[in-house]
């Protein structure tokens, strides 16, 4: 407890990464903001109980983010997400104000990530948010090796998705 870094340091360090992770899961920057806010609100409440010896701050925060994202999909159902996927509704139509300010490159690539099956999407998002395969495995309740395999399958699926789009 005594050596724990102030929560604000954690917040400043991880806000961007958590946002990127959530943003890759959900369709709009508005949803990403709401979920990110929920993540850090929850983390803020739970920080006094955080045990650094049991897990890293990154894994702890990403676990909260993952749960919040799953809650989001549970709450709103996948209907809306599927609709966006089917219609390929561009972000700009949904969220012009957010898009104008959001700092995001490779938007099309992230849109492809968002369309992957849930576990593949999760593996790519967690891995490229800076987590080790061991941490990804723990979060996804599988072994490190299984996390690696899942990730590599996800990247190949992503490549196929990008290829199909390019060929369409």
* Residues contributing to the site for another protein (CB under 8 A): 8, 11-12, 15-17, 19-21, 23-24, 29-30, 32-33, 36-37, 40-41, 44, 48, 97-98, 101-106, 109-110, 113, 124-125, 128-130, 155-156, 158-159, 162
Q: How far apart are CA 68 and CA 34, in angstroms?
A: 10
Other CB atoms within 10 Å distance of the CB of residue 12 = 10
Q: Which residues have CB under 8 Å from 20's CB, separation 6+?
A: 129
Closest CB to another protein among residues 54, 105: 105
Closest approach of Cβ 67 to another protein, in Å? 18
Angle at 71 between CA 84 and CA 153, to 5 degrees: 65
Closest approach of Cβ 52 to another protein, in Å? 16
Angle at 33 between CA 26 and CA 45, to 5 degrees: 110
Closest approach of Cβ 119 to another protein, in Å? 16
Q: How far apart are CA 84 and CA 86, in angstroms?
A: 5
Closest CB to another protein among residues 34, 144: 34
Closest approach of Cβ 94 to another protein, in Å? 12
What letter would DSSP give residue 14? H
């Amino acid at each position: 407890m005594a050596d724990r870094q102030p929560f604000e340091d954690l917040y400043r360090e991880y806000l961007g990464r958590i946002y990127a992770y959530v943003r890759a899961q959900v369709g709009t920057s508005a949803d990403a903001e709401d979920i990110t806010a929920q993540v850090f609100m929850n983390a803020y409440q739970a920080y006094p109980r955080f045990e650094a010896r049991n897990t890293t701050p990154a894994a702890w925060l990403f676990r909260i983010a993952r749960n919040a994202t799953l809650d989001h999909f549970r709450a709103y159902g996948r209907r809306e997400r599927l609709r966006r996927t089917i219609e390929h509704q561009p972000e700009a139509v949904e969220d012009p104000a957010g898009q104008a300010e959001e700092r995001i490159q490779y938007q099309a690539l992230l849109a492809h990530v968002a369309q992957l099956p849930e576990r593949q999407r999760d593996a790519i998002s967690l891995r490229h948010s800076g987590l080790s395969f061991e941490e990804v495995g723990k979060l996804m309740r599988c072994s490190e090796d299984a996390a690696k395999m899942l990730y590599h399958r996800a990247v190949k699926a992503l490549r196929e998705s990008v290829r199909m789009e390019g060929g369409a």
